[in-house]
Amino acid sequence: MTASRRGDADPVIRVRELRKTYGALVAVDGVSFEVRPGEVFGLLGPNGAGKTTTVEVLEGLRQPDSGEVTVLGIDAIRHADDLRARIGVSLQTAALYPKLTVAEVLDLFRAFYGHGRATSELIELMDLGEKRATRTQDLSGGQRQRLSVALALVNDPELVFLDEPTTGMDPAARRALWDVVLGLKAEGRSVLLTTHYMEEAEVLCDRIAIMDHGHILESGTVEELVSRRFHERAVRFDAVEGLTDERMAAIPGVTSVKHEDGVVMLYTRDVPATIGAVLASTDELGHEPANLAVRRATLEDVFLDLTGRALRD
């Protein structure tokens, strides 16, 4: 990686009070965060949360209404042209020249930068070898996504933006892409990725910012996010008729009761006592709790606690 004049402690991305509206819609409403060199930073949130708008401002593709954005020490709002050669970008929905082959598109994009990684190397990295001579219009959704990521790496960038990189991929391709992202990190590159997959964020991201309705609700490492909210563990089971929230909340050790898609979640400091009380209560009602399980709180719980709804699309 090119060692710049910036000190190691300087963030590769610094966003301050970013705001962007489209008419009456406030897409991004006062967002601030920093990404440190060499880390994988995740913007996590449902569709429409403002993730893509935020990322496109950082890439120099959109002018915000207000706020400050510094990327690799460059003002991304006023001097975006100076930035483009040093970043790699994979957009969420962009099509590519439909009549050109995979290899031709990679060659073409490298020409835009005047330097970069060899086409064969990128094709191997993204496992597109069999599709080398295939026109992009004939690729599957997942293959197109892989080509999009390959194009983001064509200029050997120090900072890579990946907007929903695994959408449309099957589980095997998704895991392969995760390896590529972890490989970028191992090479010392910084990555900003958006996703609405909890598991993806947990596996890949050093730090996460949870976004909803244009706001960052909370940010930190997965550990921080979970332990900040949940000292307790979750006891979950399928909802039982007649077992009221009041009754469950009264169980010793239980701090909160949540519902999600017909599943009850009891957050508790005393797991054995809670399970005992649940079994006693349901037995009294003539039922047995189905799919009873205990788990540690996850990002999913954090999101549910922050927004009152599950992050599923």
- Closest distance between other proteins and the C-beta of residue 144, in Å? 12
- When asked if residue 135 is in the footprint of other proteins (CB under 8 A), the reply is yes
* DSSP classification of residue 48: T
Least gap, CB of 52 to other proteins (angstroms): 11
Q: Quote the CA–CA distance of 306 and 286 in Å, as a whole number.
A: 35
Contacting range for other proteins; rule: CB under 8 A; set: 100-108, 181-189, 209-217, 281-289: 100-108
Alpha-carbon span 228 to 63, nearest angstrom: 35
Positions 52 through 91 that interact with other proteins (CB under 8 A) = 59-61, 81, 84-85, 87, 89, 91
Neighbours of 30 (CB within 10 A): 14
CB of 99 to other proteins, least distance (A): 4
Residue 176 touching other proteins (CB under 8 A)? no
CA atoms of 239 and 234, how far apart (whole Å):
14
156 binds other proteins (CB under 8 A): no
Closer residue to other proteins, CB minimum distance, 105 or 226:
105
Q: What is the DSSP letter of 79?
A: -
The percent helix, strand, coil of the chain (3-state, each to 5) is 35, 25, 35
Nearer to other proteins, 91 or 311 (CB): 91
- Nearest distance in Å: CB 47, other proteins: 17
Residue 103 touching other proteins (CB under 8 A): no
| Residue 95, CA distances (Å) to 49, 145, 164 in order | 23, 10, 14
114 binds other proteins (CB under 8 A): yes
The span from the CA of 224 to the CA of 208, in Å, is: 10
The dihedrals phi and psi of 4, each to the nearest 5 degrees, come to: -90, 180
Q: Tokens for 1?
A: 């990686």
* Residue 8 within binding range of other proteins, rule CB under 8 A: no
Q: Which stretch binds other proteins (CB under 8 A): 37-45, 97-105, 119-127, 238-246?
A: 97-105
**Helix axis angle, 141-152 to 102-113, nearest 10°:** 20
Helix (H) or strand (E) holding 5: none
136 versus 282: smaller Cβ distance to other proteins: 136
Task: Select 135 or 229, whichever has its Cβ closest to other proteins.
Answer: 135
Q: How far is the CB of 199 from other proteins (least distance, A)?
A: 28
Output the smallest distance, CB 87 to other proteins, in A.
8
Written as one letter, the residue type at 152 is: A
Q: Does 168 bind other proteins (CB under 8 A)?
A: no
**178: contact with other proteins by CB under 8 A:** no
User: What six digits make up the tokens of 154?
Assistant: 């064509």
Residue in 100, 176, 263, 292 binding other proteins, rule: CB under 8 A: 100
Helix, strand, or coil here: 133? coil
Specify the DSSP element, H or E, that contains 41: strand 40-44
For residue 196, which of 299, 88, 89, 306 has the smallest C-alpha distance?
299
117 binds other proteins per the rule CB under 8 A: no
> Which of residues 61 and 271 has its CB atom nearest to other proteins in the complex?
61
| Token pair 């000190």: residue | 7
Closest distance of CB 185 from other proteins, Å: 21
193 binds other proteins (CB under 8 A): no
Do 196 and 46 contact (CB within 8 A), yes or no? yes
Which residues contribute to the site for other proteins (CB under 8 A)? 59-61, 81, 84-85, 87, 89, 91, 93-100, 104, 107-109, 111-114, 135, 151, 155
